[in-house]
Amino acid sequence: MDFSYPKAEKLKSKSLIDLLFSEGKSVSKYPLRLVYVACDFEEDVPLKMGVSVSKKYFKKAVDRNYFKRVLRECYRLNKSQLIDALDKKYCFMFFYQTSDKLSYQEIEQKTKQLFEKFSKTISEEK
């Protein structure tokens, strides 16, 4: 089991991000939201993922960066759950959408629930 988050998995392409927001679908598990779209990219990875924490909820960059690190860590440790459900390449954007400062354990639990919900959604779309 690979618990890494290599550079190839990071969602950086402006065109892919635009595609994500124009055609993407969404799955939520309060306070997390996952926007996803099936897309083709050259890298040999099953998915590309980015994180976002709104300035609306956390004015200080220190707080936003902390929650982005937590979201990336939760993704890194639980991505095998996502990869098992995928049959094609996907782009994801992972959002933290509340001003509540949840603990790492609570965020990780919500991440697992969100990934389960996403897996069910993907299997129903087939």
Q: List, for residues 51-104, the tens digit of each pLDDT value.
A: 999 999 999 999 999 999 999 999 999 999 888 888 899 999 999 999 999 999
**Residues near 70 by beta carbon (within 8 Å), at least 6 away in sequence:** 104, 107
Q: How many Cα neighbours within 13 Å face the side chain of 109? A: 6
How far is residue 95's CA from residue 109's CA, in Å, rounded to a whole number? 15
Q: Where are the domains of the chain?
A: 9-121
Cβ proximity of 83 and 5 under 8 Å:
no
**Whose structure tokens read 């959002």?**
95
How far is residue 121's CA from residue 18's CA, in Å, rounded to a whole number? 22
pLDDT of residue 43: 86
- State the fold for domain 9-121: Ribosomal Protein S5; domain 2 (3.30.230)
pLDDT of residue 42: 87
